[in-house]
Chain A
Amino acid sequence: DIVMTQSPLSLPVTPGEPASISCRSSQSLLHSNGHNYLDWYVQKPGQSPQLLIFLGSSRASGVPDRFSGSGSGSSFTLRISRVEAEDVGVYYCMQALQRPTFGGGTRVEIK
């Protein structure tokens, strides 16, 4: 199985400031069709997870444009251009190339 590694484990952020989360996979997630099979999810306190970014860089419906995903192959980044209080939660990357595996999660909290 593909191993997903996220960093940092915890990310204290100041509202209005940018934030970024790194995700690495033990093997390339680049499919022969040119897409990177890497998704980002956020689980806000007391809620089910929700999709933020799919196929590496495509924002899901309704996701604010302050969220962006980048990267290719086995190294990916989720960026929040200006953090808002509502962005608090645990962020997970997940590879969708084979039987899915998740990163360990990054807890974003407000300073």
Chain B
Amino acid sequence: QVQLVELGGGVVQPGRSLRLSCAASGFFFSNHAMHWVRQAPGKGLEWVAVVWNDERNENYVDSVKGRFTISRDNSKNIVYLQMNSLRVEDTAIYYCARGKKAAKYYYGVDVWGQGTTVTVSS
């Protein structure tokens, strides 16, 4: 079955780095865009980043531009989120999500992982 498993969360001090990974299985990985979406404690959902299936094109929410980098390895079916210069406000559950193939230049997602928790605290 289609599955996304996130790893790499933890507690980190402000200004430090963390890399999240998301292992995909059960579908043709290289056919789909892959996204990261986060949810701060007790808050709603915030889209973070996307890497399109060609591995070259990416996009980010403004609050993480220049600090976070999304990448993918289509040979390993893994998507990464490198998070540098972490801030307290980056504290959240980070979900990996599969881009849904429904229309051209469509940012929707249809499968979500279980999430991994990132806590930025001194």
Contact = CB atoms under 8 A, between A and B. Distances in A.
A92 B109 contact: no
A101 B104 CA distance: 18
B44 to A, nearest CB: 5
B54 interface: no
A31 B103 contact: yes
B100 A51 contact: yes
B100 A54 contact: yes
Given A31-B103, A37-B103, A51-B100, A99 B108 contact: no
Contacts of A50: 112
Mostly, the A contact residues are loop
Contacts of B106: 35, 37, 55, 96
Contacts of A31: 103-105
A73 interface: no
A92 B45 contact: yes
Interface residues on A, range: 20 to 34
Contact of A39 (B61, B104, B105, B108): B108
Given A37-B106, A92-B44, A94-B108, A99 B115 contact: no
Contacts of B112: 48-50
User: Top 4 A-B pairs ranked by shortest CB distance?
Assistant: A100-B47, A96-B108, A96-B107, A48-B112
Given A97-B107, A99-B47, A101-B47, 9 more contacts: A33-B104, A35-B102, A48-B112, A48-B113, A50-B112, A94-B47, A94-B108, A96-B108, A102-B45
